[in-house]
Amino acid sequence: MAEIATEVRALLGRNERHAALRYAMAASEQLLRTPSDALRMDLRRRVFKQLSSKGVFYQGEDFESVDYGQYELAADLPMFRGPAVPAAALEQGDYFCVIGAAQTFGRLVSRPWPLLLGETLGLAPLNLSGGGLGPEFFLNPKLIQLARGARFVVLQVMSGRSVGCEDYPGGRRITREGKPTKVHRLDVLKGLWQEDPAIAFEYVRRWNESYLALYRELRALIDRPTLLLWISNRSPDAWAPGRLLKKPQTGSFPQLVGRKLYESVAALFDERFEHITGPSSEQPLSRITGEPCPYLGVRGKDLQTEITYYPSSADHALLAESLAPLARDMLRTSGR
């Protein structure tokens, strides 16, 4: 264990993030052939936590169950889910692009819907999704350029909890000590609601305006045939900002997005599709032994054995099948 941790630290120190990830995944396999909960927690703490702090989505928690095949597009971006699109396909625009959060990244499933859809279409998927991302993240010029190069784009309806306004800006802010810190929008909302529910309602209205403006900007910048995708265990009707006048409820994912906002965003795009996941439960299996195994919570502090928050493998398969006709239509009209 100590040797693995030391080598990962050394590789990261040389800015060899991909090499560090591949080494950690391979070196941990032998240990995970005879796992224990103590071993899992120790691997997380000593080895994989180093990678999580370097923009490696979820692999630092799910190292036993799934190999996400993450790779580096640019040193200043997170590592995205593989397989990587071949360089020739990127140059020729022979791929489609998907943008979203954990549901599109495909947390805890070995074959996420973008991969399955790509196999159906015979076209490589460029999966730019990641855990906890909001629409503002994808305004990055490098990501916009990749989206603009695609045959078509699938853009997920993401959470509204990262989007702010002038008083409470989204993303990260700088503390008085000069350090970046994440703005926890739901904590802000709870404080506002305790002061006055009407104030909380007003700020969510303003945050929703900012959210719509971000999607409008994304639409203009991407400028490709684009499908807006709703993936959630609820419908857009299941939450509305007016509920805040009675209870500090933000709705399940995508938080702070109700029907009115969803319809305003959807009107910007060529196509839309709603996929409501039913109640489902899935047990993760070890990528090494094939036996049931736990995974770590997002903060890596507890072990869980049941997948309920994220779409199941069956949901991913159904979604890929449902999207195929729409994707073929966009391919026909893509002009490439």
Residue 275: C-alpha distances to residues 208, 229, 319, 324 (Å): 22, 8, 7, 13
pLDDT at 279: 77
**Mean pLDDT (whole number) for 148-170:** 91
Give residue-wise pLDDT tens across range 300-324: 678 999 888 899 999 999 999 999 9
Residue 143: C-alpha distances to residues 103, 139, 316, 320 (Å): 19, 7, 24, 23
Helices (H), 137-252: 141-148, 185-195, 197-222
* Amino acid at position 207, single letter: W
pLDDT at 182: 65
Do the beta carbons of residue 258 and residue 242 sit within 8 Å? Answer: no
Largest alpha-carbon pair distance within the chain? 56
Helices (H), strands (E): how many in the chain?
12, 9
The residues pairing with 271 across neighbouring beta strands, listed in sequence order, are: 227
State yes or no: pLDDT of 156 exceeds 60.
Answer: yes
Give residue-wise pLDDT tens across range 161-218: 989 888 887 765 444 444 446 677 888 899 999 999 999 999 999 999 999 999 999 9
User: What gap in Å lies between CA 252 and CA 234, rounded to an integer?
Assistant: 7
- Say how far residue 335 (Cα) sits from the centre of its chain: 29
Strand segments (E) across 11-75: none
pLDDT at 174: 44
Burial class (CB in 10 A: 0-12, 13-18, 19+), 257: buried
Q: Report pTM.
A: 0.93
User: What gap in Å lies between CA 258 and CA 69, rounded to an integer?
Assistant: 34
Which tokens is 301 given?
A: 């502090």
Element (H, E) at 95: strand 95-99
State yes or no: pLDDT of 111 exceeds 60.
Answer: yes
pLDDT at 175: 46
CA dihedral over 292, 297, 302, 307, signed as positive or negative: negative
- The reply to whether CATH 2.60.40 applies to domain 85-277+312-333 is no
Which tokens is 195 given?
A: 């002061």
Question: 3-class DSSP state for residue 143?
Answer: helix
Give residue-wise pLDDT tens across range 18-77: 999 999 999 999 999 999 999 999 999 999 999 998 999 899 999 999 999 999 999 999
The residues pairing with 99 across neighbouring beta strands, listed in sequence order, are: 155
pLDDT band at 124 (very low <50, low <70, confident <90, very high): very high
Give residue-wise pLDDT tens across range 76-94: 999 999 999 999 999 999 9
User: What gap in Å lies between CA 237 and CA 257, rounded to an integer?
Assistant: 9
Give residue-wise pLDDT tens across range 222-273: 999 999 999 999 999 999 999 999 999 999 999 999 999 999 999 999 899 9
**Mean pLDDT (whole number) for 86-111:** 97
Which of 212, 309, 199, 311 lies closest to 257, judged by CA? Answer: 212
Summarize the chain as % helix, strand, coil (round to 5): 45, 15, 45
Intervals of CATH 3.40.50 along the chain: 85-277+312-333
Comparing 132 with 47, the larger pLDDT belongs to 47
pLDDT at 280: 76
Helix pair angle (2-13, 17-31), 10° resolution: 170
